[in-house]
Amino acid sequence: MTQKPDIRWLKVTDSTNNRALEGIPTEKDKTVWAAEFQTAGRGQRGNKWTSAEAQNLMFSILLKPDFILAKDQFIVSVIVTLGLESYLKTKGVETKIKWPNDIYAQDRKICGILIEHGISGDMLSSSVCGIGLNINQKEFPKDLPNPTSLILELERNGKKDQPAFSLTDELEELVSEIYRFYDKAREEFARTGKYDSLYKFYLERLYRKDEFHRYIETASNKEVEARIIGLSDTACIVLEYCDGSRKSFAFKEISYII
């Protein structure tokens, strides 16, 4: 039987990632902190994460994986993004995973993820998975690039009468789905020593895979046309240019033009 997730709801906090990081010495694997409002929400690349009060999910899962090697840490992004994609599908919204770990509905961002790992020797000792998923919000600040929410996507799909979702119920469902992929990863690694089928699943859901689009190579600030063809062994994104040549990029070395 699946256990009810251990979720600690807070009215206000600076950042749920900070609560989960503080919990590392004492709290168990799979503990969750969620907030109705964050005063200092953190995003990728040092950005802030802002969200209307009590309209969206803002939460952090503390994982203490005893089976993930430090070199395989990208599997945590795979687990979390596959859980989100699968949960959103059950709600009626098709999404893709924008490498490394954003969730997009067509060209609109519905979810951002900030993962902070702790390493001990060869192993991953903790992963704080911070997730901001837009649920009920319908209007966003003008300066955010193409944001969307679950309720807006359902409206686009013709479901105009959707009442606001209960955040507590949705969080339980979503976290359970993420844990389903966490358990799959544990099982696949125990059986094969690798995560091939989860990686395959991730690649099948990758935003813009195999399609030519424009990107900016950060180091040279050069705009290029290329297509994503896969991931390298170190989870870098591999682009193929129009002339057939290939190059791989780490996070921050490439940005998408959307």
41 vs 83, which CB is nearer to ligand BTN? Answer: 41
Q: How many chain residues bind ligand BTN (CB under 6 A)?
A: 20
Q: How many whole angstroms separate alpha carbon 96 and alpha carbon 210?
A: 13
Report in angstroms how near the CB of residue 216 gets to ligand BTN at its nearest: 18
17 vs 31, which CB is nearer to ligand BTN? Answer: 17
Choose, by CB under 6 A, the member of 32, 93, 113, 185 that binds ligand BTN.
113
Q: Answer yes or no: are the C-beta atoms of 216 and 225 closer than 8 Å.
A: no
Which residues have a Cβ under 8 Å from the Cβ of 49 and sit 6 or more positions away?
38, 41, 42, 43, 58, 112, 114, 132
Across the chain, how many H-helices and E-strands are there?
5, 12
81 vs 177, which CB is nearer to ligand BTN? Answer: 81
Q: Answer yes or no: are the C-beta atoms of 185 and 203 closer than 8 Å.
A: no
Place of tokens 């704080």: 128
Report in angstroms how near the CB of residue 47 gets to ligand BTN at its nearest: 5
Q: Residue 96, interface with ligand BTN (CB under 6 A)?
A: no
38 vs 249, which CB is nearer to ligand BTN? Answer: 38
80 vs 231, which CB is nearer to ligand BTN? Answer: 80
Choose, by CB under 6 A, the member of 8, 10, 43, 156 that binds ligand BTN.
43
Q: How many whole angstroms separate alpha carbon 221 and alpha carbon 216?
A: 6
End-to-end CA distance of the chain: 43
Burial of 190 (0-12, 13-18, 19+ CB in 10 A): exposed
Q: How many whole angstroms separate alpha carbon 88 and alpha carbon 57?
A: 13
Instruction: Tell me the window of 129-137, 204-212, 222-230, 250-258 that interacts with ligand BTN (CB under 6 A).
Output: 129-137
Q: Residue 47, interface with ligand BTN (CB under 6 A)?
A: yes
Closest CA to 119 of 60, 61, 70, 78: 70
Host H or E run for residue 175: helix 167-192
Closest CA to 73 of 189, 156, 159: 189
Report in angstroms how near the CB of residue 196 gets to ligand BTN at its nearest: 27
Report in angstroms how near the CB of residue 241 gets to ligand BTN at its nearest: 27
| Site pattern 51..90 for ligand BTN (x: CB under 6 A) | -------xxx------------------------------
Residues 19-38 within binding reach of ligand BTN (CB under 6 A): 38
Choose, by CB under 6 A, the member of 80, 82, 84, 114 that binds ligand BTN.
114
Instruction: Tell me the window of 43-51, 137-145, 158-166, 200-208 that interacts with ligand BTN (CB under 6 A).
Output: 43-51
Contact positions vs ligand BTN (CB under 6 A): 15-17, 38, 41-44, 47, 49, 58-60, 102, 112-114, 130-132
